[in-house]
Structure 1
């Protein structure tokens, strides 16, 4: 069950009550990062991918997996990262085999570009892709994610993805002998959709609940079969 802790913003001294979000483990049980009561939150100034994720153990199946690090956005504009307790490092126990049954996708309201990237990463994990990380090569637009045998692009901007965006992703993935997938908040230009169909690139639109919606047949297939 998610817990709540009092949090004071160090910038404006405003008091908040923060409730840790829950995410579905591959076994189906809810997992919530354990908040460290009494610990001082850290103001987020510069972001790093490793800092945005935290390893948490599922109490039901014992599996260790990575989930978004708890954060709170104060109305004054300060973003606070909440400390967690009893968490092993990312070099700790590795996840076990993926069960055949996939848990339902929990809604995640998209308010910021980071939320869009997190929603896409969680969806890919639900499909069975492990060790998701920032891509080594930054795409011309949006954010690149990578996993074993996969390259994904997330466009959290209010602009339809273009033909060039889709082709650049495909060329980069081909150079890495990887499959590719595209996530966009604003959809795709007609030429981009036609080209993606011809190249076999799954296209998804992220709605405001953080749920990826397939927009072409190959995306429907990926959503149905997983990795």
Structure 2
């Protein structure tokens, strides 16, 4: 589904990410963890072409996407959320979804201007799909509220629903559980599994909440100081001495 090879990002002599590689398999939930400043968000930004790598390349479904415009990548089926929520806060919850859905519209300018039947049919379909996505994340009852009025947790859910409106094949979630209490995190975990199954998605998650990742993800990578130090299933990663040292600052023998 997604393959990254030798991704490296340097900023004036500082190496933020060094020779990072990744393979995301279809239908799997992958996790990327690491201490603060490990380079996780830089990796996401390179994968989605918000940041151009100094070295390396990214393939999405076999097609090179390094250097492509982010909107082109989204149209190919790769969608993401952001660590800092980026909603259209003065628009309604429903309109946030409809804005994203426009990337796949088929009607042209004149069809919309003249209100032709093709335009009307497609707009109704987009509206129906937007409501369905809001139901999926439990926000249908807030469809006509402004996005800024939502709680923090619900804003996170709306951002995920907006990403789903792009009809992705791969969904990248940047710290989706940030700021959530344990109950909200558990609810989010169930929601992510549900949308993976319902929409036949592959999902890549970066997160500081280690128990969240360990319970949710089937394959996990660990970054530290921009370098990949471990990967495997949750049990393998949990018991890896390098991971213990990175998080606890001491060797496995003393952990």
TM-score, normalisation: structure 2: 0.30
TM-score, normalisation: structure 1: 0.33
Structure with the larger RCO, 1 or 2 (CA within 8 Å, 6+ apart)? 2
Pick the structure with greater CA Rg: 2
